A and B are shown apart, each in its own frame.
Chain A
């Protein structure tokens, strides 16, 4: 059974960069080819910020970037701003057709 694991929380100061990892526990390396990332502010709907690892939808700042290896996917936010404080979720598509979300990471901007 696949599961996507993220750190529960990360923090950084304005202007700094942070990275959030997303790791699959099942060993399905293909899962990382389809990773997307969502930002969710409190009480709001999730918002797509990256898809297929590193592609940005229209209107998303280039401060958000993504990467992957055989063992993890990562979201990097550079030049941290106060408005980046939110929950971030990775999501992927497994070889059994399941759309799987990570547990979410709370980003605190100090």
Chain B
């Protein structure tokens, strides 16, 4: 059974930083691209970032480029989102999601974690 579990969310001040983790199980982690998707309170879904199976290739939404960094540790079946220079509009539930193939060009998300809430507030 595919499982994804986020951790690391919480309250952070504007301008601060946070690292989200997503621990996975139930599949061959290194064979799949992985993504982060966020959802602001009461709003829709927004894709944030993707990383290829090897970790060599990444891509970001324009709204987070230069502030967020995605990475993975295939030995730990875990991937991460380092978020910095946080703003109020970064407040959201951050979901980690599995992509159905290896490439960072993967086009959809086949399994999702339960989400981690990040609140940016002073």
Contact = CB atoms under 8 A, between A and B. Distances in A.
Contacts of A52: 107-108
Contacts of A97: 59, 105
Contacts, number: 57
Interface residues of B, number: 21
B95 interface: yes
B46 A101 contact: yes
Nearest to B109: A48
Given A97-B105, A99-B50, A48 B45 contact: no
A64 interface: no
Contacts of A74: none
B45 A104 contact: yes
A89 B45 contact: yes
Given A36-B109, A45-B115, A99-B108, 5 more contacts: A45-B95, A46-B45, A92-B107, A93-B107, A101-B47
